[in-house]
Amino acid sequence: MTIETFEIPSFTPEQRQKLDEKLSDIIYPHEFEKNVGWTYGAPRWAVEPMVNAWRNEFDWEESRKEMARWHHLKVNIDGVRIHCVNETSQQPGAIPIMLLHGWPSTFYEYHKVIDPLRDGAEGAQAYHVVVPSLPGYGFSDPTPTPGWGVAKCAETLHKLMLELGYSKYVVHGTDWGAVLGMHIATNYTANCKAYHTNFMLVMPPIPTLSNIVTQPVRVAKFLACMLLGGDAIYGKDKLRVLGRSFADIDRDRDSGYRAIQGTKPYSLSYGLSDSPVGLLAWLLEKYHNWTTHTGDKESSVLPPTIDVKEFLTQVTIYWLTNSISSSMRLYYERLVEPNMDRAFSTKVTIPTAVSSFPDEVSKMPREWVDSQVNLVQYEEHPSGGHFAALEEPQLLTHDIQRFGKKISADLQ
């Protein structure tokens, strides 16, 4: 295993020219004359201004220089080079934390929380902050062979922390980062001492013999919610799976991307790898649908908490690294990976904390979470969605700092 310093690259003149050419010669798809909002996906009236901003206004060098203020490394883990930000705190009592992003995101999702977590101002818990690009994402190497599912990626990220010298650490995750974080939290407890997430996934109290004996009331409520809906049993918006109630998951209109990426990711990748407009539109739909909007959502594009520069920085990282295809492989690997159904039914014994945001695409009732993890902190917030670190960085930072105070003794 080797550790090398890394510098976020600039566009070469050839790369810049090719992108400009592709953003200048666009065949837009046919749409209805009537505006149907986002019902059919990302509409042209939302995509075209973003394309124009990418071509005429967005400055990659500005974003690159912003990211260059952190220490970047590439760490060779079993032949795969993993990119990470590694920011060491100067505060006494700082503890290590690994922040894991998901899809469609990059390590840059955490750009608003890295510094405050590292600095621990006004007596808050400070952290040594490690933010990897997941295997196959951004500036990390593409996964080289089939079989790089949750278990292999989680093992690689755990080894990354050990290679950086952190024998005890906290992990925070969202989206795929939460799935990987949960796996780390249940399989590497000798080193991973606490788990924080804003995307908690657990198994519901289905009517198994064990559950009927140990938690009959929860089983009864679960069966009732299958008939009456989650709002009627658990309260408004306490149970949501990709924007739908649990009982309506088979009619969910927002999960088609998972079916495509989980079965034939290569076929989709030809369009997204060759067309920057296709890539932008595919990602933009998620940044619109999975976030909190203060006005009419159907007539808006990005939420007020995520600006155009932030979104285009995310898109540009995917484009510059040609990593959209390798990023989507995890959906396929998850479906063929053996024994992964156990991942969400295994008890998490290390201290666990949850930050719950109202517009998160998947939410579980607190009583489901409480029965399956060692829950020491649960915070519900009035706004925010799937990209909490971008949308509500102060709330997320505060939650992680409060959690750190509770568990820091275990990491010294």
Q: Using alpha carbons, list the distances in angstroms from residue 273 to 9, 106, 268, 402.
A: 19, 16, 9, 41
| Active site amino acids | 175, 331, 386
pLDDT at residue 341, rounded to an integer:
64
Please give the pLDDT value at position 246. Answer: 46
Beta-sheet pairing, 80-87 with 127-132: antiparallel
Per-residue pLDDT of the chain (412 residues; tens, 9 = 90+): 799 999 999 999 999 999 999 999 999 999 999 999 999 999 999 999 999 999 999 999 999 999 999 999 999 999 999 999 999 999 999 999 999 999 999 999 999 999 999 999 888 999 999 999 999 999 999 999 999 999 999 999 999 999 999 999 999 999 999 999 999 999 999 999 999 999 998 777 777 777 777 787 777 777 777 777 777 767 776 666 644 444 444 445 677 898 999 999 999 999 999 999 999 999 999 999 999 999 899 999 999 999 999 999 999 999 999 999 999 999 999 999 887 666 666 889 999 999 999 999 888 888 888 888 999 999 999 999 999 999 999 999 999 999 999 999 888 7
Q: Which domains does the chain have, with CATH numbers?
A: 64-203+338-411 (3.40.50.1820), 209-251 (no CATH)
- φ, ψ of residue 267 to 5 degrees: the values are -60, -45
Closest CA to 387 of 196, 168, 198, 182: 198
**Per-residue model confidence (pLDDT) at position 216:** 74
What pLDDT score was predicted for residue 247?
Answer: 45
Give every CB contact of residue 5 below 8 A, 6+ residues apart in sequence. 71, 72, 73, 74
**pTM value surpassing 0.85:** yes
Give the pLDDT score at 252: 59
